[in-house]
Amino acid sequence: MKIAIAGATGRMGKMLIEAVLNTSDAQLIGALEHSACPQLGEDAGAFLGKKTGVLISADVAAVLANAEYLIDFTRPEGTMAHLAAAEKTGTKMIIGTTGLTSDQIANLKKASANLAIVFAPNMSVGVNLALNLLALAAKVMGNYTDIEIIEAHHRHKVDAPSGTALRMGEVIAKTLGQDLKDCAIYGREGITGERDRKTIGFSTIRAGDIVGDHTVMFADEGERLEITHKATSRMTFANGAVRAVIWLKDQPNGLYDMQDVLGLSS
């Protein structure tokens, strides 16, 4: 499996490179960065003290010409540029970028007619299992409890709520026959009045080096159920992305998510 990594010098990029190098049947063949990156031309494995022979490059077309897969955990604008290039080269994509607009997601769906893509806001096994548990909890308790989603991430995260928190909200809303955009409440301040039980509340924390914590609360009078996932290392996301590559190699063109990869889709 010939794999290229986008955002190669970032926190996730480095984890992805390490995960690929630690996978026996995977080959790192490209490492992409923006044109102003000071590490351009350096070996992609330098941060590990390894010589991979793969130099960090800003030439997207050249890198993708040799890549079977591109793993992209960058920013929406970068992901869209990489997607356009991948369509030309037939390079399959594994996308963990968050903060995409509805139009950008529509572009992913359109491109998937000609390209196999795994797109998921969180590629950890635990989070994707939690999504199934949330659907079950919403089915059993969602019609009479107050539902709140609390998420925490490091100070450098640029979007809020997190893509994972939004996905959790979408799963719950769909189970309840609602559309998240119609029932989500993003933060509260001032005299807000009594809580509308049919809403789904979101609270966001940005602090320090928190990798990713998510808790969903189903609260009634007298009891509450909390489903929590805590990530302590970005390697869990990187390993999930490599797992998605292995799964994707046998799939036809289309848009998939980690529920598909893990066999959890209903």
pLDDT per residue rounded down to tens, the chain (266 residues): 999 999 999 999 999 999 999 999 999 999 999 999 999 999 999 999 999 999 999 999 999 999 999 999 999 999 999 999 999 999 999 999 988 999 999 999 999 999 999 999 889 999 999 999 999 999 999 999 999 999 999 999 999 999 999 999 999 999 999 999 999 999 899 999 999 999 999 999 999 999 999 999 999 999 999 999 999 999 999 999 999 999 999 899 999 999 999 998 86
Which residue(s) pair with 57 in the sheet?
32
CATH 3.30.930.10, applies to 2-119+234-261:
no
Which class is 125-231 in CATH?
Answer: alpha beta
The domain limits of the chain are 2-119+234-261, 125-231
Contact status, residue 135 vs residue 175, Cβ threshold 8 Å? yes
Residues with a catalytic annotation lie at 153, 157
The predicted pLDDT at position 266 comes to: 62
Do residues 245 and 260 lie in contact, with contact meaning Cβ atoms separated by under 8 Å? no
CA gap 14, 2 in Å, rounded: 17
Residues 51 and 44: their CA atoms lie apart, in Å, by: 8
Q: How much is the pLDDT for 107?
A: 97
How far is it, in rounded angstroms, from Cα 220 to Cα 211?
A: 30
Q: Please, what sign has the CA dihedral across residues 11, 13, 16, 21?
A: negative
Contact 52, 43 (CB under 8 A): yes
* pLDDT for the residue numbered 265: 81
Q: pTM of this prediction?
A: 0.84
**In the prediction, which pLDDT does 35 show?**
95
Going from the C-alpha of 203 to that of each of 73, 188, 212, 213, 261, the distances in angstroms are 24, 9, 14, 12, 29
CA separation for the pair 143, 146 (Å, rounded): 9
d(CA 78, CA 73) in angstroms, rounded, equals 9
